[in-house]
Amino acid sequence: MKSKSNYEADLHCHTTASDGSLSPEETVRLAKEKGLRALAITDHDTIEGWGKAEKASAQLGIVLLKGIEINTDWEGHEIHILGYGMKEHDPVFLNELRVIQKKRISRIEQMLEKLEQFGIRISFEEVMDFAHGESIGRPHVAQAMLRKGFAATTKEAFHHYLRIGAPAYVPRYKLSPSEAIHMIRQAGGVTVLAHPGAYKVETHLEEWIKAGLQGIEVFHPKHTFQDNIHYGMIAERMGLIATGGSDFHGPQTKPEVELGGWGVGMDVVIQIASKIIT
């Protein structure tokens, strides 16, 4: 018997559509077992999991918020922006996702070209073997290097070739936080700054609120109790929706984080839903 969640809703989780280890259906089923009434699927830079999650949630009678988590760059800080309820056929939104995906692939190709200069020949397909779903990245390049005997450990592959500053490193394409906010808002979605305690850049909140930010993730496994109070007060003061979620990645990827281990009440789900433009 799985332990029940203390919350009604978990608004942050990843599935096999990005870097999670459970499928969208399995994630929804687990949410039901945990007693959650609502769940948001927020895979990195993709909405691939939405269809399957929607079917499963309709069958099990659980409210699904269709979400996304966009990795952005703000002056060298990686800032994550969560979006909820975007129109899935919005052409601008879909096009931006395609651009992100294309750039992710061309980045890998550029890294493989650089590796070749060191006599390390790996094909794109060999890297793809390690990338389940869409989020192809440096860890998969490292695993392919390992398999072909070009490195003894992934750590070594990163250290000699793939880390920032190493000879095969290629920077990732990223939107700015304001661009990601715009992309989500113009598709009718609601925008939330993810786990602000992880980067402490709230000095720029006003700028992002001006750009259209509507919420801030207050409850998250990376946050301390003090963070919860701090960001809860900021939400109150700045009129932002105070959200929360587990950032669940599945038992294989992050076993210490349970689905529903962090979350909010249905009142927050209603606040978000009331701001989605359909």
Binds Zn ion (CB under 5 A): choice among 247, 257, 261, 272: 247
Q: Which is nearer to Zn ion, 11 or 120 (CB)?
A: 11
Distances 196 to 18, 220, 235, 277 between C-alpha atoms, Å: 21, 9, 11, 25
Least distance from Zn ion to the Cβ atom of residue 134, Å: 15
> Which range, of 28-36, 80-88, 93-101, 160-168, touches Zn ion by CB under 5 A?
80-88
Query: Angle of helix 24-33 relative to helix 50-60, nearest 10 degrees?
Result: 30
Site string for Zn ion, 38-77 (x = CB under 5 A): -------------------------------x--------
CB-based closest residue to Zn ion? 80
Binding residues for Zn ion, rule CB under 5 A, total 4
Q: Which is nearer to Zn ion, 128 or 198 (CB)?
A: 198
Site string for Zn ion, 193-232 (x = CB under 5 A): -x--------------------------------------
Per the structure block, which two tokens stand in for 92? Answer: 């601008």
**The amino acid at 152:** A
| Residues contacting residue 19 through CB under 8 Å, at least 6 positions apart | 44, 133, 135, 249, 253
Give me the residue label for tokens 């599935």: 15
Of residues 258, 230, 257, 274, the one with CA closest to residue 34: 258
Least distance from Zn ion to the Cβ atom of residue 195, Å: 6
Q: Which is nearer to Zn ion, 80 or 223 (CB)?
A: 80
Least distance from Zn ion to the Cβ atom of residue 23, Å: 17
Binds Zn ion (CB under 5 A): choice among 34, 80, 107, 223: 80
Q: What angle do CA 261, 80, 179 make, to 5 degrees?
A: 145
Q: Which is nearer to Zn ion, 120 or 241 (CB)?
A: 241
Q: Which is nearer to Zn ion, 44 or 52 (CB)?
A: 44
Least distance from Zn ion to the Cβ atom of residue 13, Å: 8
Distances 95 to 46, 74, 137, 165 between C-alpha atoms, Å: 11, 22, 21, 31
Identify residues 140-199 at the interface with Zn ion (CB under 5 A).
194
Q: Which is nearer to Zn ion, 8 or 247 (CB)?
A: 247
Least distance from Zn ion to the Cβ atom of residue 118, Å: 32
The DSSP symbol for 15 reads -
Strands (E) located in 4-152? 9-10, 38-44, 63-74, 77-84
Least distance from Zn ion to the Cβ atom of residue 96, Å: 18
Q: Which is nearer to Zn ion, 144 or 258 (CB)?
A: 258
Q: Which is nearer to Zn ion, 34 or 80 (CB)?
A: 80
Residue 12 near residue 40 (C-beta atoms within 8 A): yes
Per the structure block, which two tokens stand in for 32? Answer: 């039901």
Question: How far is the C-alpha of 240 from the C-alpha of 194, rounded, in Å?
Answer: 13
Binding residues (CB under 5 A) for Zn ion: these are 69, 80, 194, 247
